[in-house]
Amino acid sequence: MKTIRTIAELRRQVSEWRGQGMRIGFVPTMGNLHAGHFALVELARQHSDRVVASIFVNPTQFGPNEDYARYPRTPDSDIAGLADKNCDALLLPSVDEMYPFGTVGCVQMHVPGITDVLDGAHRPGHFNGVAQVVARLFNMVQPDAAVFGRKDYQQLQVIRYMATEMSFPVQIIPAPTLREFDGLAMSSRNQYLQGDERQTATFIYQTLCFMRDQRALGLPIAMIEAEAEQRLTMAGFSVDYAEIRRSDLLRAKSPDERGLLALIAARLGRTRLIDNLEFDAG
């Protein structure tokens, strides 16, 4: 696996592969990789001849009081893990390489509507930063396909919207959420959990299942959401949201509407966790 730190070197490599008629897959990450990330690489391999991964902790998607400085950075183990999964190239750029005019002077991006709810309402500007960095990475790598996990469902929808609206010739491939043996969604932030918090964190997935099951019984959405938030609060969480929405993240328009999912974001101690569960997934 090649470790590449500049856009120029990346483009030379991608151009060489394209000259050989190869299809390029892409997996953007913020590092501190775990089995869920490596599953994205394996899925990208199924859709391409060569796989490029990136590791970049993007400062523009962190708010002033968020965990950018302490976000875990483990480049050595990340590189070893990607090489073990037969990733072909790793883009490991600096902030200056990604934002040559600085993070204040960079071109701004905003995806309307879809970023105003859920995490967008609780983390103002977060999805602007996501859109900025993903658009830049798409321009740098110029992949045929890019893989994103379903765990951050709203982010996946923002990227789909942006790629379509901006006419990026990239196939967006969603990957299933990988979970620990007890249902906890795999996340780099799980390592922040202290003591009993790790066991308590599984209550998020249990609550998502409760929301799905209650909806299957025909209970009103507002009632289910209120009960879910109460359950989480009693378990020790500070809840940002526990909501049921359509796959496009709008509210359901009819009592019997299908294609819904539950989404939760909640803090446990110093750790903010997100997860979701699609109700009608086959």
Active-site residue list: 37
Q: How many residues are given for the chain?
A: 282
Show the tokens assigned to 160. 């789909």
CB atoms within 10 A of CB 178: 18
Judging by DSSP bridges, how do beta strands 2-4 and 145-149 pair with one another?
A: unpaired
Show the tokens assigned to 126. 């977060």
Cα–Cα distances (Å) from 132 to 25, 108, 139, 171, 243, in that order, read 20, 7, 11, 18, 27
Picking from 125, 128, 124, 147, the residue whose alpha carbon sits closest to that of residue 136 is 128
What's the chain's Rg over C-alpha atoms? 19
Strand partners, 172: 146
Judging by DSSP bridges, how do beta strands 24-29 and 145-149 pair with one another?
A: parallel
CB 60 within 8 A of CB 106: yes
